[in-house]
Structure 1
Amino acid sequence: MITGAHTIIYSADAAADRALLRELLPDGRAVDAGGGWTIIGLPPGEVAVHPTDGAPQHELYLMCDDVEATVADLTSRGVVFEGGITDQGWGLLTTIRLPGDGSLGLYQPRHPVAAG
């Protein structure tokens, strides 16, 4: 029986990215796995499989109820975003810039949500 999913983000500055994720996910449970390895709990999630003509890839998106309010709140706390908010039809999308040179998607879904 599957009991959960574990997501790994590779980073050039893991400590800074962990700190930002603690800021983004303040209600998430975090544990110290030893040796400085912090594992941060995520909100309920879902997985989708999209077709591709190229090499398979994986992406991580955080979801919110109001992307404009969330971006304003996080920006006021020093979180950096790339580009603006775009309307993709299926939702309103923006990108969070991670300190370790990575990124996370943030979107307000307009489709039915399986996470609960």
Structure 2
Amino acid sequence: MINGAHVIIYSRDAEADRAFFRDVLGYPHVDAGRGWLTFKLPPAEVAVHPVGERESHELFLMCDDLEQTVADLTSRGVEFVSSPEDQGWGILTSIRLPGGGELGLYQPRHQTAYDL
């Protein structure tokens, strides 16, 4: 039986992004060997969306209060790529990872599946 999922974030600066997840977000982790940290994520869900020609995958973190979460993360030095924007289904912004990538962050307004 499937008992979990493993998410991979590809990074131009993996050490900096690992430090971000460890030190800024405070996610518990294990060292899988040689400094390859694997982080425990909050409860998760997966959605399948239609796509045209270019297939891609995205990772979004979720929160109950985006305004407060943005304030907390900003006080820890996190850079936001965009201002929070109401999308109808939720309020969305993006975090700049130290390695240069982006990570979505949103407050859902839809029913969630992560605690079923």
TM more than 0.5? yes
- What TM-score do the two structures reach when normalised by structure 2? 0.95
Alignment length (residue pairs) = 114
2:107 alignment counterpart: 108
1:13 alignment counterpart: 13
Give the aligned CA root-mean-square deviation in angstroms.
0.8
Instruction: Give yes or no for the alignment of 1:78 onto 2:39.
Output: no
1:43 alignment counterpart: 42
Q: Note the residue ranges of structure 1 that are not aligned, 5 or more in a row.
A: none
2:90 alignment counterpart: 91
The CA distance in 1 between the partners of 2:62 and 2:7, in whole Å, is: 15
Q: Note the residue ranges of structure 2 that are not aligned, 5 or more in a row.
A: none
Q: CA deviation at 1:29?
A: 2.8
The SS at the match of 1:17 is helix
- What TM-score do the two structures reach when normalised by structure 1? 0.95
The CA distance in 2 between the partners of 1:49 and 1:89, in whole Å, is: 18
The CA distance in 2 between the partners of 1:45 and 1:54, in whole Å, is: 27
Query: Segments of 4+ in structure 1 off by > 3 A?
Result: none
Aligned sequence identity (%): 65
The CA distance in 2 between the partners of 1:111 and 1:92, in whole Å, is: 11
